[in-house]
Amino acid sequence: MDNEKDLSTIIGENINQIKSELGESKDFLIRELEIKTKKTNLRLAVLYINELADDNKLNSLSFQLTELINTLNYNNQNTLEKDELTAENIFIRLKTALSSNFIITEGSDYETVCSQILSGNTVILIDGYDKFIFLYTYGPKGRNITEPTSQTIIRGPKDAFTEKIELNISQIRRKIKDKSVKIENMSIGSITRTNVAVIYLENIARPEIINEIMSRLQQITIDGILDSGYIEELIKDDHNSVFPTFLNSEKPDSVVAGLLEGKVAILVDGSPYVLTAPAMFVDFFNVSEDHYHHFLISSMTRLFRAISFFLTLLVPSTYIALTLFHPEMIPTTLLVSLAAQREGVPFPVFFEAIMMELTFEVLREAGIRMPRAIGQAISIVGALVLGQSAVQAGIFSAVVVIIVSITAISSFAIPNYSMANAIRLLRFILMILSATFGLFGICIGLIVLYIHLCKMKSIGVPYMSPFSPKLENENKDTIVRFPLWKMRYRPSSTSKTNKPRIVDQPVRSGIEEKQEFV
C-alpha cells in the first residue's frame, strides 16, 4: 500500500496501516480512548514511540486528554451539549485544548504519520475523521551535560555539548541572549532523517557564507547522517585534502566565540561535536582558554604550539636527511656519537625511523581503542619496554627512539585532533622525500605544502587568511594574542560589520585615577 495515501475515516484501518509500516515493535505504543456521544461512541488513538518521546510531555498530554474526555462524556450524559458532537468538532476542541502546552500541527497522509512518530512526536487519530494532529513531544533519553572529554582545559567553562540537539541549542542560547541569533532547521538523510540545525548571528555573519552553507547542506543526498563528520566531509571545499576546513568542538564557549566573529555553527542530532565554519589554518592551533589568561601567557603558549607543529612535521625527516645526505652539517662530536650508536644496527636509517614511527602509531591507536582503564598503561608500558628492549638488542639506535619520542610529544601539543592527524600523515611523506633527495626533498615538500594551503578555501574564504592574502590589522589573534582592548574589530573575512567590539583602552577604576593624580 502506498504510504503517501491519505488517511481513511475508519480509525481501525489507519492503525492497521501504521502498524504494517512501523512493525510490531515493543516501544511503539498505541493508547485508545473513547468519547461517548448522543448517537454513538467515537474512538480516539494516541500513537508514539516510548523511548523517543519525553516522559514529562507524555504525562502532561495524558492528563489533559483525560480531563477533556471526562468533560465531554459528562456533558453528553447530562445533555449539556447543545449540538451533536462530531469527529470534526472533537478534532477542533483537541487542537484548542492542547495548543496551550504543545506545538501542534495537522496532516492527512500515512507518510507524514509515520515520519512524525519516528521523529519522536505523538500522533492523535479520531474515528470518523481523515486528518490527524501531531504534537512535538521529542525528548530522547541520553546523558546530561558533563565536562568535555577531548578538549580539556584548566580555566574556563566546564560544560560540553551532548548528543541532544535541543540541549545543545539551549546551551548556545544561554550564552548569547540576543534576538539576532537565527536557527535554520532541516532534515538530512533519506533513511535516518537526522535533524540538523544551522546557527548564526544575523547582524554579524556574511550572507554569502550563510547562503553557501545552506546550499551545500540542501544538496546532500545520502541515506544516513550519524555524526557531524559526515557533514564535514560532504560539504568541504577540497574533498581530497587531508587538512580539516571545519572546526569541530564539544565546548559551547568555543562555538559561541566563533559565532561572535561571524562564523556559522552546524549542529547534528546525535553528535556532541559542533562544526564551525569558515575555519582558517591558524584556528586549529588556538583554544578558547587562550582568551581566559593574560595575553602574554597565551601568546607564549601559542608559540609553543607553533614550534610543536614544526617539530612534529620536520624532526624525523631532518634526521634522515642529515644522516644520509649531509653528515658534514652535523657537529663532529655528535656525528661520532651517532656513528657509535649505529654500530651493529642491521637496518638503514630510513627503515629504522619508519619502523619506529609505525610502532609508535600502533601503540597510540591501541591506547585509544583499548578500555580506558588499561589503555593508557598499555601505551606507556609498551613504548618504554619496546624502546628499551629494541635498543639493548641492537635492532634500533637510541637516537631514533629519542627522535620518535620528541615527535610524539610534540604532536600531543596540537589541540585539534583532525589537524594532528593530517600532520601525522604528512610526516611520513616528508620522511620519504628526505630519504630520496635529502634536505632538497624536504624543501620541495614544504613548498608544495605551502602552495596547497594557500590554494585551499573554507566555504569560499582563503584558508591561510589573514596571512595569505594579507589582511591588515587582522592578525591580532593568530600566532600571538593581543590584549582584548586591542582587538576592536571582527575579521572582515567572516563578518559583514566593522562595528567596534570593544573600546580602545581598558577600563580604569576611580581609585587608580586618584592615585595617579596624587
CA distance 102 to 93: 14
- The x, y and z cell numbers of residue 166, run together, are 535541543
Nearest to 46 by CA among 102, 105, 117, 100: 117
Q: Quick one: pLDDT at residue 518? A: 43
Provide the H-helix boundaries in 203-294: 207-218, 228-235, 252-260
Output the 3-class SS for 10-33.
CHHHHHHHHHHHHCCCCCEEEEEE
3-class secondary structure, 283:
helix
Place of cell 500541527: 105
Query: What is the rounded CA–CA span in Å between residue 478 and residue 367?
Result: 33
* β-strand partners of 274: 249
Q: Which residues pair with 201 in a beta bridge?
A: 181
Residue 384 CA neighbour count, 13 Å, CB half: 6
Instruction: At 10, list the grid cell.
Output: 475508519
**How many Å apart are CA 440 and CA 193, to the nearest integer?**
51
Strand ranges across the sheet with 104-107? 28-36, 41-49, 122-126, 132-135, 104-107
Question: Do 117 and 47 touch, CB atoms closer than 8 A?
Answer: yes
| Confidence (pLDDT) at 379 | 62
Helix (H) or strand (E) holding 441: helix 439-455
Q: Maximum CA pair distance of the chain?
A: 110
Burial status of residue 298 (CB atoms within 10 A of its CB: 0-12, 13-18, 19 or more): buried
What's residue 1's pLDDT? 42
pTM: 0.83
- 3-state SS string for 287-350: CHHHHCCCHHHHHHHHHHHHHHHHHHHHHHHHHHHHHHCCHHHCCHHHHHHHHHHHCCCCCCHH
Do residues 77 and 36 lie in contact, with contact meaning Cβ atoms separated by under 8 Å? yes
Q: Which three cell numbers stand for residue 291?
A: 582568551
Contact 345, 393 (CB under 8 A): no
* DSSP three-state, residue 262: coil
Given this model, what pLDDT does residue 201 score? 93
- Please give the pLDDT value at position 144: 83
Averaged pLDDT, groups of 10, the chain, 518 residues long: 71 87 82 77 87 86 86 70 72 85 86 87 89 86 82 86 90 90 92 92 92 94 92 91 93 93 93 93 91 91 93 94 91 87 84 87 78 62 69 81 88 90 93 94 95 93 87 80 84 76 62 47
Beta bridge partners of 30: 47
